[in-house]
Amino acid sequence: MSDPHLYGVLAEFATAEQLLAAVARARTETRHAVLEAYSPVPVEGLVEALGPRKADRIPFWMLLGAIAGGAGTFALEWYAAVWDYPINVGGRPTGSWPAFLPPAIEMAVLGAALFGVLAMLISNGLPRWHHPLFEVESFGRASNDRFFLLLRAIDPKFDPRRAREILQTLTPLTVREVRL
Amino acid sequence: MAAQMRSEAAAAPLMDEGETYTSITSNVSAITLHRRFGRLWLTGFTVALALALLLAFGVGWLLAMGVGIWGLNIPVAWSFAIADYVWWIAIGMGGTFISAALYLTRRDWRNSLNRYAETMTVFAVSVSGIFPILHLGRPWFFYWLFPYPDVMNVWPQWRSSLEWDFFAIIAYLLVSILYWYVGMIPDLATLRDRAPTLARARWYGFFALGWRGEARHWRRFETVSLLLAGLAVPLVFSVHSMVALDFSEGLVPGWHSTIFPPFFVAGALFSGFAMVLALGIPMRKAFHLEPYITERHLVNMAKMLLAVGLVVDYSYLSEIFTAFYSMDPYEVALAKNRFFGAYAWVFWSTILCNVVLIQLLWVPRVRANPRALVAISLGVLVGMWLERFMLIVTTLYRDFVPSSWGMFYPTFWDIAFLAGSMGLFFVLYLLFVRLVPVVSMFELRKMVRKRERELA
Amino acid sequence: MTQLFSSRFGFFLRLGLIAALGLAIIAVFAWRGVMAGPAALNEPLEQPVPFSHKHHVGDDGLDCRYCHSSVESSAFAGIPPLSTCMTCHSQLYTDQAALAPLVRAFESKIPLHWQRVHHLPDFVYFNHSIHIAKGVGCVTCHGKIDTMPLTARVAPLTMQWCLGCHRAPQRYLRPRDEVFNLHWQAKDQLATGARLLREYHIDTRRLTECSVCHR
Amino acid sequence: MSPLRPTPPPDSDAVGLQLDRRDFLQTMAASLALAGLTGCSHPPQEEIVPYVHAPLGQIDGLPRFFATALLRNGYAHGVLVENHMGRPTKIEGNPQHPASLGGTDIFAQAAVLQLWDPDRSQAVMRREDVTSWEAFGAELLKWSARFDQTHGAGLRVLTETITSPTLSSQLDALRRKYPQAHWHVHQPAGQEQALAGARLAFGEPVSSRLHLDRAKVILSLDADFLSDPAAGVRYARDYIAGRSPEHQGNTMARLYVVEATPSLTGAMADHRLPLQCAQIEIFARHLARRLGVANVVEDGLDARQTRWLDELTRDLQAHRGEALITVGPAQAPWVHALGHALNATLGNVGATIEYSNPVEALPGESGSLADLVGAMRAGSVDTLLVLGANPVYDAPADLQFAAALEKVPHLVHLGLYRDETGARAEWHLPQAHSLETWSDALAFDGTATIVQPLIAPLYEGRSAHELLAALLGESQQRGREIVRRHWQERLDDAAWAAALQTGVVPNTALPTRSPSLHGDALERALPPLQAAAALELLLRPDPTIDDGRWANNGWLQELPKPLTQLTWDNAALISPELAARMDLSNGDIVEIRLRERARRVPVWIMPGQAAGSITLHLGYGRRRAGRVGDGRGFDAYPLRTTGEPWCARDVQLAKTGDRYELAGTQHHFNMEGRDLLRTGTLAGYLRDPHFVTRADRYPGAPPSLYPDYPPGKYAWGMSIDLNACIGCKACTIACQAENNIPVVGKEQVRRGREMHWIRVDLYHEGPAENPRTHSQPVPCMMCEHAPCEVVCPVDATVHDSEGLNVQVYNRCVGTRFCSNNCPYKVRRFNFLQYVDKEADTLKAQRNPEVTVRRRGVMEKCTYCIQRIEAAHIEADKGSRRIRDGEVLTACQAVCPTQAIRFGDVADRQSAVAEAKASPRNYVMLGELNTRPRTSYLARLRNPNPALEEKT
């Protein structure tokens, strides 16, 4: 019965407060689980309002990056200077570990940064240059001064008509269907 | 001083009450999207481009002839190019510090400065990176500093501070680019959505990576920004310690000193802040950014400039003190040389710019006067370059063995490369102010949002 | 607002990036190939006279030192003067067309220009005599020369390759009197090598030092 | 094989002679293609070009050494020439030759570059047209036909000083054949005055031979015997032998020097008295009077000088028979005569000085250049044969030689270069280089050496022998036959071969004799006293380009003048007093006026210069020297006259206000109280042998954080004895020749970019009017804790197990941090492409055992690693140890006084270990804990206690 070409129903709001309220209502009234909220600024509490989600792994990935960069570099230095081609440089020991630290530190930082950004983009599903929402006329203001709530069609409890009715009650500026 | 700042921050608002999401968005993005190229911009760009071309030609000549086109010799085997390198990379530090350290300490006033400060960082670091490579006798082999499996089975020499610095520069450049770019994504999305033509929409849209401002995306975005800021701060400190070690690893009197790393960090902040002021104030005027970059911003910057300036002056003092306290004949001879030697004028000019001049900043009226601030900042920038020249040349030209003492005289190309590097920097910077928002829109919006909540 | 990019865009972009990466890697290897040297591995060079080691060594069984007379005493193994060739070829195959350039050169006293097969950069100072003295066989570097109708290089002659032996000579050493024997095989190379290492007083520590090959 | 053992020459015709030049250049192809580090493209395809017939006895790839002699002012300096595949590349002294004993002077080192100089004359020229020897031969036939009628009237031969027996016998033959022909000798910096002095004293010319090793007290009257053209190298060795307390039972010879302008000898003096040239004559008379030789009028010396004189006299009298008085070539004949008389009265003759018949061939009456010019003016010269000399450039100005040439129909010039004279000649004939010709020559003591060629003439050069043979119309005109025939009765084939191999003809030294003094003649000869003029001009041969003959030699031009460190130029040396008086500073141009002639030259303030003396060196301002030498510096010959060749009285000096940029390699001559170069007195040393290291902060080396690396098979180290170093800079140029060190040119030197791997530092100590001068050779210190290595990011400079601080050129990317971090500043950088990549002959000169460095690469002293490795390979082949002295570094081998010792410091028996064991041993900047392998032995002086406190 659900329309395969329907991506979801999108409601546009003027303020963050209205959006927050709408999110709350939508979840209580429809038991809707798959909602998405778009805003020009991060809105505190919005994520929690949208429902339970599994924690972000970004800090973990950055730690991993740091270890990979740092330990990796140090290991490489040790291998090169002690195992592969030991050379007497200025009478210093071949394994001059204090001198090996600086590059390791720099690479640790670099590794962490790279992993962090990648983790952020990937878990955000970015880059994604083509998206159904970009079809929507007014969605352009999501990056300016408008707030949007999207009820996704893939939600088992999704029913286009009902969704529209409820959203209408939330004093949105507009409500429209988003098609694939 | 920090306490004082906080109190003032509470007092006057950092942004006009009337500002809204819409106004911010349209005002700032208009600069990029709708503003015409002014005559000022065009002349500036032409000059910068000319200098950049001079640099390009110089590079060609250098590769054809060798570093001998500079005034280098034995004993003074380093000079302008290295001074330029240190000067530029130090300028970069100001940007990172303002945008990262102040972000961690939740200083909202940095929100109007961080974008162009970070940009300045990225370009300054890129420009600085040119010099260590060109400065090599055989620049085309610079990649030998990078550990890769080669048919010679030889590796870099990890004990050399130059090797450390090589990694430091790479890390610093990449991280600051990441930090800068990631922080720009939401604004790029804004430009994408407001672009007048399809072409420009695509252009910005490509770099916006399809940012839509979904709540969970914002959350992760914020997390990464915070953590990157947390990384950037120790990174810049380490980077400038490496730069310092490029010298202090040597045993030459005047270089062989443990004070160098903190000394260089302070110096870097000093010139960095100066550059932020010197760039920001004219830009603020040209683009009518007064609503966002208010007098308070300038005052705060001025105070920070004074603060680090005093730290720098302190390290001058302690250097001189330790020289005489050590009673090491070579150290003492060097110190005397700086005061009265052939390059004494460099030392005294440095003192004039970096010690005397900044004392004006104690005066509130001066702190509040944009023109004065620009003048002082330029003075500091000159002073910091001279300081690097002094550190390098007056150290090398007379070291241990009097028979090998010798003077350094710059050639045309020494000066051309310095001027050219400025040209290149300004070409990039002027393009930037035309292509991306010079003030971070979404961070200003956050301030509006904050106010809304305070009212609610 | 409208879609700025087709739904395929992302896919093709990623494809492009991967392709670029691949190209870069190929470029690097190509460049290394170019740097490797003028003559490719196992490919004979065009010589003024099609000299065959196979014939002279393999069939006639000439000793290496008959022509490469300074190999035991000098860095340079020695390329024979034309008079050496003429000791035989004033009688043998005098009418052969292939030998014409040789005879002409000998009579006109204008020497032949042989193309160098084994080339080392000028900053590398290889010395034949010490290698011979320490039991490194000809075949170890020059390959089965006695089977080559035209001479070709069989080893890359890179520093890495040199180090391969300098780091573990025992894997290649042979008794001095087998040095010129192209067919000698050790029963147990490692054991023999280790023994010879001691007998010939080879200072392995020094072998990997820059000063041994670079002046 | 020791690099210095001469290999027996095969049947001497085969000495590289089978190679005609074309083959030879082709033979080089293989090694030539190797020049320079590879750049960014793949290495070029190389060719190997074997011989058609191999030269006998040659082993491809191994250097060979041949004994021969090089000439300086006609005197033989025995050398061994290193020969790579038929290319002479390096010159070493011949240990068996009396004038060398293994060392050489700077000129011998530079000779190999002269051989390969692309500017050398390459073809027979008639006026401006290239022609051939055949054409000249035809012309010669016509002339000799004419001479046969006229008995040679109108034929004149002009040569430089000649010692060659073959050549002088040829000249005799010529005079026998053409009684009317005349032979003249012209040597710009010759020994005329000394010979004239001998004539005065003994009524006949004799050569004197000094035995400095036997003298305890030496007085030099303006005599720079350490740089004597004939025997300087040998004299230096002898002098130092007498100055080594360790080997002289804790005694040292004492040297007094009276001179007008500082010289190497003056710098070695225990007591040096700067006096104007004219005052030296007065001083000599006073000494003569005190020692009762000649009764001369008294004339005032000032108190200090008198005191000096008194103490000197006392010292001389106390050492009868072991004193020595030597007089310089610039002094008037009668001063020489006085010297002979003084030596006689002190009983030195036969002990510290000996006499023999003149070594050089004398042209006899009216054989001077002046006589020749007279004849030319008179129009009685119709054909002038100039062999090697260059009178148009270096004849005294008052002769106006060039003008006189107008009257000479046929001028024939045989010369290495088509120089000023060659350009004026009707016929210019390319002369073969000493390394290309057969000849013979005598050493200062008359010992004969057969000069043999190392290579066939590169160009169409021929020797004077061959030219004279042609003139004599002899059938055999090949150099070898001519020389061989001359020695026919003296040497059978075996002896000939032996003479060629050893480089000396045994027992040919001239017998010593004791000529009797003509005292009264001396009295009569003494001219009335002339008061010293306010200002006098001294003309001296240049320290590095001599009388101008070396002007086109880049090595010598760039070799810093020992006492000024100037390169590429000459300057008028003036005393600090004069400079102060006339407010002159270095580089100010002054006008020196001598009667009607004047020259504008820059000045250089010379500490120790006699107040009223201006020194100007001859040899610069060449007009036809070649691309290197043309227009360099300032020609001094216009100020030279036959009457006053060395010392012109009453000259005027005027400041012009113009300036000139001089290029020096050292700008600061004050040690600033740093203990880099340590000195002491003999007395102090005997009192406290360890005085040298008393003040050191750490006995031995400071402690280290790091464990030492296990010792290698050898521990290479060097010891430099500052007490033996005379600062002649032979080490610098020998190193340049051995290690392919490029010449950078004046502009680069001015920028401070000279490339010498071993420099000789110069420090003045004490009052500027008469300071003590010290020289210190500084090669790489080979620090065990090398600061340069730690800061190199690519392992381009690292240590090997035998303690060498190796520089791997091909790995160097050129950060130059190593140089900044080198406390001794011994590293040199190729700021530009300094090595000539074009000139083929220059490539041919280079040492194939040493990498040629390209632009952008750091380089430095390697302890001649190529020689170490060669010895290593030879020793390792036999599984034996390298013997002490088997490796000689280039600087060590050339050093006339053996001041440099090199070897295995771990081996207690080695010479270097023995030297380092001396209490005089110390290292430079030891407190930096760089642990140098190069150490120094402190310098000692042996002052006269009576004079010490007051000087």
Q: Distance (Å) from the C-alpha of residue C85 to the closest C-alpha of chain D?
A: 10
Rounded Cα–Cα distance for residues A9 and D273 (Å) = 111
For A131-166, how does the pLDDT look when each residue is reduced to its tens digit (9 = 90+)?
A: 989 888 888 888 888 999 988 888 787 888 888 888
| Cα D764 from chain centre | 23
Looking at per-residue pLDDT, the higher value among D300 and D718 belongs to D718
For D20-47, how does the pLDDT look when each residue is reduced to its tens digit (9 = 90+)?
A: 333 343 333 333 333 333 334 456 677 8
- The partner residue sitting opposite B220, judged by closest CB among A56, A103, A109, is A56
Q: Which two tokens stand for residue B123?
A: 């370009």
**Cβ separation D862–C215 shorter than 8 A:** yes
Closest CA to B220 of A19, A49, A122: A122
Among positive and negative, which fits the CA dihedral B41, B43, B44, B50? positive
**Cβ separation D857–B138 shorter than 8 A:** yes
Closest CA to D223 of D353, D28, D125, D79: D353
| Cα D319 from chain centre | 32
Say if CB D16 and CB D86 are below 8 A apart: yes
Mean pLDDT over B263-270 rounds to 94
Interface contact D825, partner B, CB < 8 A:
yes
pLDDT at position D948: 76
**Cβ separation A106–B238 shorter than 8 A:** yes
Query: Which DSSP letter does residue D366 get?
Result: T
For B55-73, how does the pLDDT look when each residue is reduced to its tens digit (9 = 90+)?
A: 999 999 999 999 999 999 9
* Type and span of the H or E element at D869: helix D865-877
Across D333-423, where does the E strand assignment appear? Answer: 353-356, 383-387, 410-415
Say if CB C36 and CB D42 are below 8 A apart: yes
CA angle C172, C173, C174 (to 5 degrees): 120
Interface contact B146, partner A, CB < 8 A:
no
Query: Which DSSP letter does residue D532 get?
Result: P
**Cβ separation A113–B231 shorter than 8 A:** yes
pLDDT at position D38: 37
B3, exposed or middle or buried, with CB in 10 Å at 0-12, 13-18, 19+? exposed
Q: In chain A, which residues have their Cβ closer than 8 Å to the Cβ of C210?
A: 87
Q: Which two tokens stand for residue D156?
A: 């004149």
pLDDT at position D42: 56
Say if CB D804 and CB D782 are below 8 A apart: yes
Q: Are strands D921-922 and D679-681 parallel, antiparallel or unpaired?
A: unpaired
**Cβ separation D793–B160 shorter than 8 A:** yes
Write the DSSP assignment of D911-922 as a string of letters.
HHHHHHHSTTEE
**Cβ separation B224–A58 shorter than 8 A:** yes
Looking at per-residue pLDDT, the higher value among D718 and A170 belongs to D718
What are the beta bridge partners of residue D775?
D762
D248 pLDDT band, cuts 50/70/90, is confident
Write the DSSP assignment of B354-379 as a string of letters.
IIIGGGGGGSHHHHT-HHHHHHHHHH
D118, exposed or middle or buried, with CB in 10 Å at 0-12, 13-18, 19+? middle
What are the beta bridge partners of residue D158?
D184, D386
**Cβ separation C1–A136 shorter than 8 A:** yes
Residue with tokens 């296990």: D710
pLDDT at position D361: 92
Neighbours of chain A (3+ CB pairs under 8 A): B, C, D
- The partner residue sitting opposite C74, judged by closest CB among D35, D61, D798, is D61
Q: Distance (Å) from the C-alpha of residue D41 to the closest C-alpha of chain A?
A: 27
Rounded Cα–Cα distance for residues D944 and D273 (Å) = 13
pLDDT at position D907: 93
Say if CB B372 and CB B358 are below 8 A apart: no
Q: Distance (Å) from the C-alpha of residue A88 to the closest C-alpha of chain D?
A: 5
For D865-903, how does the pLDDT look when each residue is reduced to its tens digit (9 = 90+)?
A: 999 999 999 999 999 999 999 999 999 999 999 999 999
Say if CB C146 and CB C58 are below 8 A apart: yes
**pLDDT surpasses 70 at A2:** no
Interface test with D, best of C47, C82, C122 (most D CBs within 10 A): C122
Share of chain D above pLDDT 70, in %: 94
SS (H, E, C) B299-336: HHHHHHHHHHHHHHHHHHHHHHHHHHHHCCHHHHHHHH
- Quote the crossing angle between the two packed helices A16-30 and A160-168, to the nearest 10°: 140
3-state secondary structure (DSSP) of residue D313: helix
* Type and span of the H or E element at C197: helix C189-199
For D68-102, how does the pLDDT look when each residue is reduced to its tens digit (9 = 90+)?
A: 999 999 999 999 999 988 899 999 999 999 999 99
* Type and span of the H or E element at B189: helix B161-194
For B414-429, how does the pLDDT look when each residue is reduced to its tens digit (9 = 90+)?
A: 999 999 999 999 999 9
3-state secondary structure (DSSP) of residue D91: strand
Across D137-211, where does the E strand assignment appear? Answer: 155-159, 182-185, 207-210
Interface contact A80, partner D, CB < 8 A:
no
Q: Number of C:D CB contacts under 8 A? A: 153
pLDDT at position B21: 87
Q: A133 to chain B: nearest residue by CA?
A: B212
Rounded Cα–Cα distance for residues B177 and D413 (Å) = 76
Say if CB D104 and CB D79 are below 8 A apart: yes
CA angle D73, D74, D80 (to 5 degrees): 105
ipTM above 0.95, yes or no: no
Interface contact C160, partner A, CB < 8 A:
no
Q: How distant, in Å, are the alpha carbons of D19, D47, D414, D691 from that of C109?
A: 10, 17, 32, 69
What are the beta bridge partners of residue A37?
A149
Share of chain B above pLDDT 70, in %: 97
Q: Between the CA atoms of D536, D540, D542 and D545, what dihedral angle is there, to the nearest 10 degrees?
A: 140
Residue with tokens 């380092």: D916
Find the DSSP H helices in D583-739: 682-687, 691-694, 730-738
D4 pLDDT band, cuts 50/70/90, is very low
- Residues with Cβ < 8 Å from D413, sequence gap 6 or more? D386, D421, D422, D424, D425, D427, D428, D429
Interface contact B318, partner D, CB < 8 A:
no
Interface test with C, best of D37, D798, D850, D869 (most C CBs within 10 A): D869
| Cα D747 from chain centre | 25
**pLDDT surpasses 50 at D453:** yes
For A48-101, how does the pLDDT look when each residue is reduced to its tens digit (9 = 90+)?
A: 888 877 778 899 999 999 999 999 999 999 999 999 999 999 999 999 999 999
**Cβ separation B401–D778 shorter than 8 A:** yes
Q: Which two tokens stand for residue B450?
A: 């904050």
pLDDT at position D23: 37
Interface contact C22, partner B, CB < 8 A:
no
- The partner residue sitting opposite B154, judged by closest CB among A85, A131, A144, is A85
Cβ atoms < 10 Å from Cβ of D72: 23
- Can you give the residue ranges of every domain in chain A? 6-52+128-179, 58-123
C187, exposed or middle or buried, with CB in 10 Å at 0-12, 13-18, 19+? exposed
Q: The domain A6-52+128-179 is classified under which CATH number: 3.30.390, 3.40.30, 3.40.50, 3.30.70?
A: 3.30.70
Cβ atoms < 10 Å from Cβ of B388: 24
Long-range (24+ apart) CB contacts under 8 A made by D880-887 are: D881/D713, D882/D714, D884/D909, D884/D910, D884/D911, D885/D2, D885/D911, D886/D2, D887/D3
Q: Which two tokens stand for residue D540?
A: 């001296």
Closest CA to C148 of C57, C66, C67: C57
Rounded Cα–Cα distance for residues D50 and D23 (Å) = 9
Interface contact D889, partner C, CB < 8 A:
no
For D894-912, how does the pLDDT look when each residue is reduced to its tens digit (9 = 90+)?
A: 999 999 999 999 999 999 9
Q: Number of A:C CB contacts under 8 A? A: 25
**What are the pLDDT tens digits along chain C (215 aa)?**
678 888 889 899 999 999 999 999 999 888 877 776 667 788 888 899 999 999 999 889 899 999 999 999 999 998 888 888 888 888 888 788 888 888 888 888 888 889 888 888 889 999 999 999 999 999 999 999 999 999 999 998 889 999 999 999 999 999 999 999 999 998 999 999 999 999 999 988 899 999 999 98
For D123-172, how does the pLDDT look when each residue is reduced to its tens digit (9 = 90+)?
A: 999 999 999 999 999 999 999 899 999 998 999 999 999 999 999 999 99
